[in-house]
Amino acid sequence: MSNLQGKVALVTGASKGIGAGIARELAARGAAVAVNYSGSKDAAEKLVAEIKAAGGKAFAVQANLTDPNSIGPLVDKVSQQFGPIDVLVNNAGVYEFSPIESVTPEHFHKQFNLNVLGLLLTTQAALRHFNPKGGSIINIGSVAASGVPSASVYSATKGAVDSITVALSQELGSRHIRVNSLNPGMVETEGVRAAGIMGSDFQKETEAKTPLGRIGQPQDIATVAAFLASDDSLWLSGQTIHAAGGIRI
């Protein structure tokens, strides 16, 4: 399938996990993909090499999206390398769970500075280099946006992402830019494995609550992102799509 042939995509936080899966899928469908990373240079370069070996186009570009001064140069490099941007995937994010008694300003700002402010500023910068014909912005949210115990701050950031998606879909529609939220449930990623969730009671409980009977894989999210990136979703904007096997939190 080559329904993204000739498109240029920037995927933030794309060196691992869901972001890497999305970058790999977009490239496989013909897009030239900018693989943004913050600290995982080796993983990003390995992914780029994999994409190129499969005949795709990609390059790795470093930027810490919690630093506003790094965002403009990131987008400039993408435009210089590949030309106008057609697809922006705001995937970079961080999560920390904490009961309300342990919430601190640092805990709050660590998550909001990346998950919300970083998303807004990256979108703002990308719009200056967007294809005049329009395109697609995909914000990676979470089913946790509805609120989960011991994740009040993280849930708040993802609730904000859903609200931003609706606002921007209305603001940017006249420029033929579609904006949608893609909200995964639990997905097996490096971070989930490092947190010891795989094989835990929490995983088993989540699978038991999931109608399709398992947790997700990055590819499950990537194929939906590719649909939202393509003209196959030309009439979708301002939507929140739950890619979570049917689970409702």
Angle at 37 between CA 243 and CA 193, to 5 degrees: 55
97: left (phi over 0), alpha (psi -120 to 50) or beta: beta
Phi, psi (degrees; rounded to nearest 5) at 238: 75, 20
In what side-by-side order are the strands of the sheet with 57-62? 57-62, 32-37, 8-11, 87-90, 135-140, 177-184, 240-243
Active-site residue (options: 95, 130, 154, 227): 154
In single-letter form, the type of residue at position 35 comes to V
Length of the chain (residues): 249
Longest distance between any two alpha carbons in the chain, whole Å: 51
Residue 154 annotated among the catalytic residues of the structure = yes
Q: For 34, how many CA atoms within 13 A lie in the half-sphere containing its CB? A: 28
- At 165, list the tokens: 């998606």
CA 123 → CA 120, 129, 230, distances in Å? 5, 10, 18
Active site positions, annotated: 154
